Structures are given as C-alpha cells and as structure tokens.
C-alpha cells in the first residue's frame, strides 16, 4: 500500500540525516587536523638522540655507542685499529739437548709463539724475555702479513723484557703511554696472538696496580709493580700490548694466574720504556749491585720464635765472596735491619735503596750479628 504522506516525510528525514552526517565529518576532520598538528609539534620537540620503541637511532654516531661500552675516549674498535697494527706475532726456534740410553746426546728443535709491540719507527720491538730466551732463530710477522727475521738487541731476565730489531719500510708503531696515570677500573684492551690466533683483541678493565709475581721465590726475585687486568690473556699473548682508552700501550702482557679466570698481569709501560732504553744503548740493563744473592726475611713471628733481639730484618743466606758485600766483611747469617737509613723488611726495601745509591755510590747497612748491632759501608758496583 502506498501512502503519499509517508513517502514525503521519509524524504525530508533522509535529507536532514545527510546534512548532519556531512557536518559531523567536516567537524571530525577539523578536530583531527588540530590533533595531528599538536602531535607533530610534540614529535618535533623530542630530542633526536632518543629512539622510539627501543630501536637504534640511525643518526646517532657509532663512536658514541662504543664510548658507552668502554667509558673511555676511544672505542674498543678504535683502540684496536690504533694499536693493533703495531702488535706482531713472534715465532722462535730453539734447540733442546737431551741424552738417551741408546743414542746418547740428541738435539731436538722446539718452536715457540709469542707477541711483541713495535714501539719505534726504526723497527724496535718490545717483547718478553721468556718469549725469546735461548732462541736460535726469531721471526716476526706483522698484521699486514709481512715477515721479517729479527735480531736480539738485548734481554733482561729480572724484568722479563727484551728488545728485538727488524728492518723494513713504513713500519707501524704504537705509543708507549704513561702507566703512572692508569687508574683501577678504567678500560683495558689486550692485543696479541694467543695459541697462534693472530691479532686477537680482548677487553676488560684495570683490576689492580702494584702487583708482584715471583720469578724465583727462593732467590727472592719477583716481577714487581705489575698491572693486573681481567682482559683475557692466554699463552701466546706474552709480549703483546695492554692498551688504554687513549690508544696508548700502558703495559706489556707477561703472565696469567693459571688457577683462576680473569687474572692477568702486564709490565708497566714506564718500566718497559726505561729497560728498553738501557737495552738499546748498552745491550743489557746496568744494575747497581752489592753481591747479596739470597736472603731470609725476618718477621716479628720468626724473631720471636728464634728469640732474636730484633723484630725485623733480612738474614743473609748467600752472597758472592768478592762482591762489595763480601769485601765489606758481611757474612752468612748477618741480619740487615736497616739500609740507607730505612728499615729493611723486604727484598724490595733493600733493592730500592741499592738502586737509589746507584753505581759508584756508598750504602750504609745496619747489621745485627751475635746479639750486637753495627754499621757497615758498602760500595755499590755495576752488576757483573
């Protein structure tokens, strides 16, 4: 059934509906544009270094991200690129003589691997003495693949340092830094050739300073004032570089504590620089010497147990007969209680005052013998 009035009323309502819908859409668009405009302003105000949803900001410099890792001016990658080319692989050939029941004397060749650091553009290389000790042939391989035969300029057992010389053009070299300004907790990067894996880079921190490691505990010979690091060091790293965040070499890696993880030691760069200068000029390290070869440290407990009339000192257990100490009348069993006016409580104390007296100087030693104390003047000579 058709009702003309119904049709006319329906047409009017639909027209109103269309007008209202159009108004709503226009209003929504206006509000939407205002809202989006405000959002654009807020987004524009966000600092460029802050990334959204944890994604890395493509505009942020890579170097800054590396700085966050190391806490130093250079990234680990930057340190490696600056120091790494100067770190070399050292291969050695030794002859070991041994005797057998059937064949008598026999000679066996042994190969060794280690690391070194070119520290002078003329081709001088720092490494550990134990790396090249008794080597018949020494080869050096650079990170760019160049190979050289090396000659020994000099070596020093007591500091475990040696200097080699290679001849080549455009040799890379590293800068020896100031190890006295190194601080515990700052970044440390070890570069070397552990187990023959060339140019290995490991990172950590400076764990401690002033450590001592025995070379020959019975003789009282120690590597002293070492830098301790947790940057992984393994056999083959010996002689390699321990670098800081400034891109300088602050230590020559020398030893690890085998029964632990993350305990390695490096010879300070200031020590290495001094020893290298001696080796390059004289072929050896000239040392002040008084001829005492072995001592027994007297602690308060030892003094109490043996009912000595002193509470500290260094008992002479061995000395060279024609040495300054021997010529001054010192003998086995004498106890050095004071040296150079300072209490003598350790081998390091005695070594320090001997070094201060220097070659050609005189050293006053206070000696305890048979219940009495007297003073002896010892002339310091160069060690033979």
Tens digit of each residue's pLDDT (9 = 90 or more) over 155-189: 999 999 999 999 999 999 999 999 999 999 999 99
Is 199 in a helix, a strand, or coil?
Answer: coil
pLDDT at 71: 47
The string of DSSP letters for 275-306 reads: HHHHHHHHSS---EE--EEEEEEE-HHHHHHT
pLDDT band at 219 (very low <50, low <70, confident <90, very high): low
Entry pTM: 0.72
Query: Which of 175, 178, 193 lies closest to 119 in space, CA to CA?
Result: 175
Domain ranges of the chain: 1-37, 83-165, 179-282, 288-382
pLDDT, residue 326, reads 94
The fold for domain 83-165 equals Thrombin, subunit H (2.40.10)
Residues 133, 152 contacting (CB under 8 angstroms): no
Band the pLDDT of 111: cuts 50, 70, 90.
Answer: very high
Name the active-site residue from 130, 230, 312, 338.
Answer: 130
Model pLDDT, residue 36: 37
Q: Quote the percentage of the chain above a pLDDT of 90.
A: 68
The pLDDT, as a whole number, for residue 24 is 46
Q: Does residue 334 have a pLDDT over 60?
A: yes
Q: Which CATH number fits domain 179-282: 2.40.10.10, 2.60.120.260, 3.90.550.10, 3.30.420.40?
A: 2.40.10.10
Which of these CATH numbers, 2.30.42.10, 3.90.870.10, 3.40.190.10, 3.40.50.2000, describes 288-382?
Answer: 2.30.42.10
Identified catalytic residue from 75, 91, 115, 160:
160
Picking from 99, 100, 94, 98, the residue whose alpha carbon sits closest to that of residue 114 is: 94
What digits encode the pLDDT tens for the residues 344-374? Answer: 998 889 989 999 999 999 999 999 999 999 9
**83-165 and 179-282 agree in CATH topology:** yes
Is 57 marked active-site?
no
- Whether the CB-CB separation of 269 and 254 falls below 8 Å is answered with no
Two tokens, residue 7: 């049709």
DSSP, res 202: E
Give the N- to C-terminal CA distance of the chain in Å, as an integer: 134
pLDDT digits (tens, 9 = 90+) for 23-71: 444 444 444 444 334 433 433 333 333 333 333 333 333 332 333 334 4
82-112: burial string, b at 16+ Cβ within 10 Å, e else = bbbbbbbbbbbeeeeeeeeeeeeeeeeeeeb
pLDDT digits (tens, 9 = 90+) for 297-315: 999 999 898 888 899 999 9
At residue 198, does pLDDT exceed 60?
yes
Is 338 designated active site?
no
**Up-side HSE of residue 361: CA atoms within 13 Å toward CB?**
13
**40 among known catalytic residues:** no
Catalytic residue among 75, 91, 207, 238: 238
């Amino acid at each position: 059934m058709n009702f003309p009035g119904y049709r006319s009323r329906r047409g009017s309502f639909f027209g109103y509906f269309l007008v209202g819908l159009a108004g709503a859409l226009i209003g929504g668009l206006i509000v939407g544009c205002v809202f989006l405009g405000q959002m654009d302003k807020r987004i524009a105000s966000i600092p460029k270094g802050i990334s959204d949803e944890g994604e890395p900001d493509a505009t942020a410099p890579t170097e800054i991200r590396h700085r966050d890792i190391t806490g130093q001016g250079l990234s680990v990658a930057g340190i490696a690129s600056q120091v790494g080319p100067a770190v070399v692989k050292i291969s050695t050939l030794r002859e070991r003589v041994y005797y057998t029941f059937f064949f008598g004397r026999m000679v066996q060749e042994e190969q060794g691997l280690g690391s070194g650091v070119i520290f002078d553009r003329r081709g001088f290389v720092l490494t550990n003495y134990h790396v090249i000790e008794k080597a018949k042939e020494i080869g050096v391989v650079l990170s760019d693949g160049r190979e050289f035969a090396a000659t020994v300029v000099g070596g020093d057992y007591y500091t475990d340092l040696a200097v080699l010389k290679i001849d080549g053009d455009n040799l890379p070299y590293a800068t020896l830094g100031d190890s006295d300004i190194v601080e515990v907790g700052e970044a440390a990067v070890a570069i070397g050739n552990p187990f023959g894996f060339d140019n290995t880079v490991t990172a950590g921190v400076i764990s401690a300073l002033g450590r001592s490691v025995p070379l020959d505990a019975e003789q009282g010979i120690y590597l002293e004032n070492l830098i301790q690091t947790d940057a992984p060091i393994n056999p083959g790293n010996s002689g390699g570089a321990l670098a800081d965040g400034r891109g300088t070499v602050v230590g020559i890696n020398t030893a690890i504590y085998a029964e632990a993880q993350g305990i390695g030691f490096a010879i300070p760069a200031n020590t290495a620089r001094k020893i290298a200068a001696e080796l390059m000029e004289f072929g050896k390290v000239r040392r002040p010497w008084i001829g005492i070869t072995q001592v027994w440290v007297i602690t308060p407990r030892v003094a109490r147990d043996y009912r000595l009339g002193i509470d500290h000192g260094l008992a002479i257990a061995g000395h060279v007969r024609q040495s300054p100490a021997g010529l001054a009348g010192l003998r086995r069993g004498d106890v050095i209680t004071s040296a150079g006016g300072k209490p003598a409580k350790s081998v390091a104390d005695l070594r320090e005052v001997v070094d201060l007296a220097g070659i050609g100087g005189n050293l006053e030693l206070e000696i305890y013998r048979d219940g009495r104390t007297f003073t002896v003047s010892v002339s310091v000579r160069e060690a033979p």
